[in-house]
A = this chain, B = another copy of it.
Amino acid sequence: MKAGILGTGAVGRAIAGKLTELGHDVVIGTRNVARTKAHVEPDYMGNPPFSVWHKTHDKVRLATFAEAAALSELLVNATAGMASLDVLQAAGEKNLAGKILIDIANPLDFSKGMPPSLLVCNTDSLGEQIQRAFPTARVVKTLNTMTNMIMANPNLVAKGDHDVFVSGNDPDAKARVTELLKTFGWKHVIDLGDITTARGVEMVLPMWVRMMGALQTPMFNFKVAR
Residues of chain A touching chain B, judged by Cβ–Cβ distance below 8 Å, are: 112, 117-118, 121-123, 157-158, 161-162, 190-193, 197, 199-201, 203-204, 206-211, 213-215, 219-226
Contact = CB atoms under 8 A, between A and B. Distances in A.
What does DSSP make chain A's interface, helix, strand, loop or mixed?
mixed
Q: Output the residue of A201, A204, A225 with the most chain B CB within 10 A.
A: A225
15 contacts: A117-B122, A121-B121, A162-B223, A193-B210, A193-B213, A197-B210, A200-B210, A200-B211, A203-B204, A203-B206, A203-B207, A211-B224, A215-B226, A222-B223, A223-B225
Contacts of A118: 122
Contact of A201 (B200, B207, B219): B207
Given A206-B200, A207-B201, A214 B193 contact: yes
Contacts of A201: 207
A107 to B, nearest CB: 10
A220 B226 contact: yes
Nearest to A203: B203
A195 to B, nearest CB: 12
Contacts of A197: 210
A224 B213 contact: no
Nearest to A197: B210
A203 B203 CA distance: 6
Contact of A207 (B112, B204, B210, B223): B204
A211 B225 CA distance: 11
Given A117-B122, A203-B207, A207-B200, A214 B190 contact: yes
B221 A225 contact: yes
Q: Output the residue of A123, A191, A210 with the most chain B CB within 10 A.
A: A210
Contacts of A122: 117-118, 121-122, 206
Q: Output the residue of A158, A220, A222 with the most chain B CB within 10 A.
A: A222
Contacts of A112: 123
Contacts of A225: 157-158, 161-162, 220-223
Contacts of A209: 200
B117 A226 contact: no
